[in-house]
Amino acid sequence: MMKKFKSFVCVALVLLLLCLAGCGQQDEWEQTLKVAERMDSITEDAQLRENTEKMLDALIADDVAGAYAALYAGTDYSQFLEVYDQLRQEVAGLETYQLMPVNINKSVTNGVTTVSVRYMMTAGEQRFYIDVTRAKDHEGLTAFYITEYIPVVTNGTLSNMEGANAAQWVFLVIGMAELAFVLWAFVDCCRHKMRRKWLWLLLIALGYVLLQLVATPEQFRTGMRLGAFLSYTCLLGYSTGGFTLQFLIPAGAIVYVALRKRLFANYLKFQQEKQIKTQETDLVPEEVVPVAEATESVEEMQQ
């Protein structure tokens, strides 16, 4: 029975590592594309799409007047000219494109309803995100942003250690050692008898604290997450610059190991007390003969 259990644990560990290895293999574009494919049931704003295509066609054709005509009538022309060249550079050389909405949002501010959409645009080998907004019941765009999507290559993960430095290898080894420690604690808990075992098993399996430090050209922040399942200690490096350090603390397994001997002793004490109570209950009290009846019996024998 124990051999079967060990085999099961080994298979579970392999599956866990495969799941971890799969994390991060799919880039952001592929993940967003899957979201977009599930949005077929959402009604798209036809007017917003028409204005977006009108703006893109004008930018590709280098038609300043046509691009301005796609905007809300109250847009300042001089401010538009300041950003036109930058918008034009983003789409220079494109001929055909395809738009797919990935996010649609409606909001009301001061009684004015605005509709915002993020499009994924593919043009040959190039990919872009386009964010547009318009005020409902008004023609023209009130906002238009276009950014080219550049895939970010991440190393330092189980799925990609190519080009990783010594620090990344050290943190990954620490992460794998932590996973092995959690697995040992889980198996050890299964093998020994204790009170509330299932609660301890859940605590070992899910009791994690994940500390994060993110330092990239776009942001610098720290954070903490509780119950970070399927995470591990590692130092992630990005092709665009910067890194993310995530350090996983298996708090549940640590608490279990710290209290391990006490849990075993408490269970043994509990069993002994339970056995003593059972023995006391099973004892049959001896029959007591009243003193008066005993005296009468003696007198009768004497007579």
pLDDT in tens, 95-148: 889 888 888 888 888 778 888 988 889 888 888 999 999 988 778 999 999 988
The parent domain of residue 104 ranges over 28-148
Q: What angle, 0 to 180 degrees and rounded to 10, lies between the N-to-C axes of helices 166-191 and 2-22?
A: 150
- Co-location of 133 and 190 in the same domain: no
- Co-location of 62 and 100 in the same domain: yes
Give the lowest-confidence range in 71-85, 232-246, 285-299: 285-299
Evaluate whether residue 300 is within a structural domain.
Answer: no
Evaluate whether residue 46 is within a structural domain.
Answer: yes
The Cα–Cα gap between 118 and 102 comes to 6
- Co-location of 52 and 70 in the same domain: yes
Residue at which a domain ends, from 131, 148, 165: 148
DSSP run (H or E) holding 135: strand 126-135
pLDDT computed for residue 173 by the predictor: 92
Model confidence at 92, in pLDDT bands (50, 70, 90)?
confident
pLDDT computed for residue 27 by the predictor: 57
Q: What is the mean pLDDT of residues 269-294?
A: 64
Beta-carbon contacts of 229 under 8 Å, excluding residues fewer than 6 positions away, are: 206, 208
The Cα–Cα gap between 263 and 129 comes to 56
Kindly report the CATH number assigned to the domain that includes residue 142: 3.10.450.590
Evaluate whether residue 286 is within a structural domain.
Answer: no
The pTM of this model reads: 0.54
Yes or no: say if 120 and 129 are a contact pair by the CB < 8 Å rule.
yes
- Co-location of 123 and 165 in the same domain: no
Evaluate whether residue 261 is within a structural domain.
Answer: yes
- Co-location of 126 and 196 in the same domain: no
Evaluate whether residue 21 is within a structural domain.
Answer: no
Residue at which a domain ends, from 127, 148, 169: 148
Q: How many residues does the chain have?
A: 303
**Count of the separate structural domains present in the chain:** 2
Give the lowest-confidence range in 259-263, 272-276, 285-289: 285-289
Model confidence at 67, in pLDDT bands (50, 70, 90)?
very high
Evaluate whether residue 199 is within a structural domain.
Answer: yes
pLDDT computed for residue 18 by the predictor: 46
- Co-location of 61 and 119 in the same domain: yes
- Co-location of 167 and 144 in the same domain: no
List pLDDT tens digits, range 210-225. 999 999 887 899 999 8
SS3 for 300? helix
Residue at which a domain ends, from 99, 114, 148: 148
153 pLDDT higher than 60:
yes
Amino acid found at 185:
A
161 pLDDT higher than 80:
yes
* 256/45: higher pLDDT: 256
pLDDT computed for residue 298 by the predictor: 43
Q: Mean pLDDT across the chain, nearest whole number?
A: 80
- Co-location of 122 and 165 in the same domain: no
Evaluate whether residue 299 is within a structural domain.
Answer: no
- Co-location of 165 and 138 in the same domain: no
Evaluate whether residue 10 is within a structural domain.
Answer: no
- Co-location of 34 and 137 in the same domain: yes
* 270/6: higher pLDDT: 270
Give a three-class secondary structure readout of 216-256: CCCCEEEEEEECCCCCCCEEEEECCCCEEEEEEECHHHHHH
What 8-state DSSP symbol labels residue 211? E
7 pLDDT higher than 60:
no
- Co-location of 256 and 159 in the same domain: yes
Of 100, 130, 104, the closest CA to residue 116 belongs to: 104
The Cα–Cα gap between 120 and 132 comes to 12
- Co-location of 88 and 175 in the same domain: no
Model confidence at 34, in pLDDT bands (50, 70, 90)?
low
Amino acid found at 188:
D
Q: What is the mean pLDDT of residues 54-59?
A: 94
Model confidence at 286, in pLDDT bands (50, 70, 90)?
low
Yes or no: say if 232 and 208 are a contact pair by the CB < 8 Å rule.
no
